[in-house]
Amino acid sequence: MLQPKVEAARAEARHYLMKETPDGVYVAEKVLAGDYMPIAAVLEVPDRTKPAQQRLKAYAQIPVTVPADPPSGTLALPEIELKPMP
């Protein structure tokens, strides 16, 4: 059983799939206002028939605040630099 604080955080967590546009920009739509920690990860899957064996190769995260009313309706994030895993 998870601790009550962990359970509460999981219940409140929001997940947004980011899709790459033809010009190489990643976009998430209909993101609610709030504080987020976008995560980028590169996974290696040595055997596609066994996805549970995937290995984390690089990872990055950056804190972001989405305002309730951004001026343009969009919010540009700074570049997220992936760091190789040891």
Provide the pLDDT confidence category of residue 7 given band limits of 50, 70 and 90. Answer: confident
In this predicted structure, the answer to whether residue 1 has a pLDDT above a threshold of 60 is no
Contact 62, 40 (CB under 8 A): no
User: pLDDT per residue over 66-78, tens digit each?
Assistant: 888 877 777 888 7
Judge contact between 46 and 38, C-beta under 8 A: no
| pLDDT reported for residue 22 | 94
Q: Which long-range contacts (CB under 8 A, 24 or more apart) does 28-35 make?
A: 31/66, 32/66, 33/66, 33/67, 33/68, 33/69, 34/65, 34/66, 35/63, 35/64, 35/65, 35/66
Q: Rounded CA gap, 85 and 35, in Å? A: 26
pTM greater than 0.95 (yes/no): no
One-letter amino acid at 42 equals V
pLDDT in tens, 26-59: 888 888 888 888 888 888 887 777 767 788 899 9
